[in-house]
Amino acid sequence: MINIADKLKTKRKEYGLSQSELAEGICEQSQISKIERGNYMPTAILLHKLASRLNVTIDYFFDEQIESVSNLKEFMRLSSRLLEDRNYKDLEYLYNLEKEKQSFLSLDEESYLNWVHSIILFYTYNEKDKAISLLEKTMISVSEKHSVYLKILNTLANFYSLVGRDDDYERNYQKLIQLYSEKDFDSQEFLFGYIRTRYNYAHYLLAKGQTLQAIQIAIETIEVCKEYETSYQLAPLLIIVGNGGKDFLDSDEVNDYYVDARDLSRIYGNKLMHLQIEKYMNDLTK
């Protein structure tokens, strides 16, 4: 029902129609209002007429693979870049601007904003419990088939690991792996999400002292990067193998991982990581 309400309102707004204009010759304006508030389930005949006026098939209202047109495309593009750079200050600035617009948002778009807000709360204001609670509530209302669900689940898993809720983290990680196993990795969004999830898990295992398991996950994920010809998270994965392999690999092999990570950081302009690796390698030779 929520899906129909969101999709009807989104498509109506996209065409610039008022509720009265959409209803004209089809039904009462009050019926449109009730549908969009989620208080009324339209009949198949009424839904067919509304679909015809909005130039969509009736499947539009029921197929969860068909997501509503986003009013947040530019914000999503910019926020994605800021999140990769962990630039939470500028992210908060853009978030506040978006909230001030007070434009109509679909359920998925509101969930995306909640996801961004939770990250700001957690990392900028250290309001960890509030951030976790916000994501837990948001996740309940989002379909597993939508990409924002994976973002929420992944971030919530990270939050759990950082506050010591290991059982909750492990549960979320297994759920993520199950969901990603059903995705097409020809989609960059799904491929990068899977790689990021596996990298986070390897990092988590290393911090827990489960070194061999961490190395195994990192190496397997490096192979995924090679298979799909992407450098995404490749340098951090190489560092995990280097850091974890000091007790299992000879010094030349360990050094090779660091060199590869350093060179990738330089090529892709990650100056901070490049300098950190350089310093670490210099310390090793002293």
pLDDT in tens, 44-80: 788 888 988 888 877 777 765 555 545 677 788 889 8
Say which CATH architecture domain 71-182 belongs to: Alpha Horseshoe (1.25)
Query: What are the Cα distances from residue 22, in Å, to 15, 16, 54, 66, 243?
Result: 10, 10, 8, 21, 62
Is the model's pLDDT at 270 over the cut of 70?
yes
Closest CA to 11 of 47, 55, 62: 55
- Residue 202: phi, psi to the nearest 5? -60, -40
Query: What are the Cα distances from residue 189, in Å, to 29, 35, 150, 193?
Result: 40, 33, 10, 6
Which region among 102-106, 161-165, 229-233 has the lowest average model confidence (pLDDT)?
A: 102-106
- Residue 157: phi, psi to the nearest 5? -60, -45
- Indicate where the chain has its CATH 1.10.260.40 domain(s): 2-61
- Mutual angle of helices 147-162 and 166-180, in 10-degree steps: 150
pLDDT in tens, 75-99: 888 898 889 888 899 999 889 888 8
pTM: 0.71
Q: How far is CA 272 from the centre of its chain?
A: 24
Asked whether 56 and 10 are in contact (CB, 8 A), the reply is no
- Indicate where the chain has its CATH 1.25.40.10 domain(s): 71-182, 184-286
- Residue 224 is encoded by which pair of tokens? 């995924």
Which region among 135-139, 196-200, 233-237, 253-257 has the lowest average model confidence (pLDDT)?
A: 253-257
In sign, the C-alpha dihedral spanning 235, 132, 1, 19 is negative
184-286, what's its fold? 1.25.40
The class of domain 2-61 in CATH terms is mainly alpha
Asked whether 56 and 45 are in contact (CB, 8 A), the reply is no
Query: How far is Cα 264 from Cα 282, in angstroms, rounded to an integer?
Result: 18
